[in-house]
Amino acid sequence: MMTHFIQKGNVEATELDGEWIILNTEQFTITKLNGAGGLCWSLLNKIQTVDTLTNSLFEEYKAVQNKEQIKQDVQEFLSNLTECGLIEHVNRL
């Protein structure tokens, strides 16, 4: 079964000069994301999977990395966002 992810409702985010600043209003933390992380973050306003995010990043950055490396990076990124309390797992039927 595939894991689905979405942004938590307790965060505020803004983009400044190609970087994203995310404020977790429950934990009072600030997280800074680069352009690729910001793209993932913006896509996570709707339910996403590792594969959907990987495909979006591959289309955006295909000249830079291979798809398998992007998938590994996405998995690590989602793990970090989960640990920071910025995204949550969604059960899909």
Per residue, the 3-state secondary structure of 27-91, as one string, reads: CCEEEEECHHHHHHHHHCCCCECHHHHHHHHHHHHCCCCCHHHHHHHHHHHHHHHHHCCCEEEEC
In the three-class reduction of DSSP (H, G, I as helix; E, B as strand; rest coil), residue 9 is classed as coil
User: What average pLDDT does this structure show over 39-56?
Assistant: 96
Q: Kindly tell me if the per-residue pLDDT of 93 is higher than 60.
A: no
1.10.3470, 3.40.50, 3.90.930, 3.30.70: CATH of 4-86: 3.90.930
Q: Kindly tell me if the per-residue pLDDT of 67 is higher than 70.
A: yes
Give the strand pairing for 29-33 and 87-90. Answer: unpaired
User: pLDDT confidence of 18, banded at 50, 70, 90?
Assistant: confident
More confident residue, 19 or 64: 19
